[in-house]
Amino acid sequence: MDRDTALDTYRYLRGGIPVMLVLLATALIIERARATCWQTSISAYYFTSAHGVFIGAICAIGTLLIVYKGSRDTEDILLNLAGILTFVVAFVPTSRPVMLCGESALPVGAVTDDAVIDDVWALVVALVLARVASWWMYRRTRTGRARSPLGELATWIQRAVLAVGLLTLVFAPQWFVANAHGMAAVTMFVSFIGTVLINAFLAGRQDQVKCPNTQVYHRVYQAISLAMALTLVAAVIVHLVLDGFNHAVLVVEVALIAEFGAYWVVQTVELWNTSVRDDVVDDGCQPAEKRLLRAL
């Protein structure tokens, strides 16, 4: 049997995200063993010996999200937005905790605001060049196509989010350094919850012959999206309400990332023999469902 390289690529892209989460979790556990205590949040591990893995794993996840092609235009745009914001989360640290647990922390002043801003500008340049190259290739080869209505809406939302971020970086760089990490993280997870909801809808409209247990996957994706939404709200609340050394923030962040990883594990298993979900969507949908499918 000939090897399906496209299918193998999708398998690696889906499975790569849980692997990167395992890498990040392992680095945090090793740091915990040395420090004999937990930091107050996952973001605080930026300032520990897990610094390198923290940045590397998150950037790798961002790359996978951008490269992964969503089944619908809206999903693809949301994944791209989440992937870009993942780099911001990695490059722009949260404020350094007053109390860092353990003795392996980065020296105070090791990460300056200027260095953070330089890293973000490098990201901006890379994204601009990638966008120009993409536009030129699609135009040269005439392989571009019109987006779906909701995909077009998602595109303008993405442009607005990135434009606000760029303007803030230019005109209020210190405010950007102080706030971009948290705002990017929340927007990233909101985008990702949207992709899970889209897949929940699509999973419920799949051909039972081509993809057995469609209703099971439909309910699982619904449950994950609901859990992620509730956990994200809890994460925002505890960040705003709790001060000082409190591990509630760490708990909700771990739960949110675990839900994120669970989605990719489930999707990897479900679509192991499928490159894109379109290949298994049932053509016999109801008229209203067909309209929504076209809109996505």
Residue 201: pLDDT over 60: yes
Residue 122 CA to residue 140 CA, distance in Å, equals 27
Q: pTM score, two decimals? A: 0.91
139-192 confidence digits (pLDDT tens): 888 887 788 889 999 999 999 999 999 999 999 999 999 999 999 999 999 999
Q: What is the mean pLDDT of the chain?
A: 88
Q: Are 266 and 225 in contact (CB under 8 A)?
A: no
Pick the residue with more confidence: 140 or 246? 140
Residue 218 CA to residue 289 CA, distance in Å, equals 15
Specify the pLDDT at position 111.
87
